[in-house]
Structure 1
Amino acid sequence: MTDPIELPALDGRDPLGFLAALGTLRLLADHHDPVTALSFDAGPPSPDCTAAG
């Protein structure tokens, strides 16, 4: 796995922020690497996207 791409401007508690994180995941998976993962930090729920290649 590579280093995660932090998305601190997106708040996972907000429905719009969560959907924006899913859209970012979809774009990365479609155009970069299909094995892209999405995770959320334990503290402030900002998402991280990680691609395998």
Structure 2
Amino acid sequence: KLLEDVLKVPVDVGTINCGIPYVGTGLIANSHAAVAGSLTTGPEMFIIGHALGVVKEDV
């Protein structure tokens, strides 16, 4: 919440490549596509997709 207030952007928590907390070491993305490391799990990809606005929750 503090980061969101200071940076004025949405913030999310996640991992990459089966638990590595430094997402930048295993993910590259732009407005057209994203590429993740080969050890990235489905739940990690869901969180990444949600953070990037690709995955929309059904309510």
TM-score normalised by L of structure 2? 0.23
Which protein, 1 or 2, shows the higher relative CO under an 8 Å CA cutoff with sep ≥ 6?
1
The structure that is strand-richer by fraction is 1
Structure number, greater radius of gyration: 2
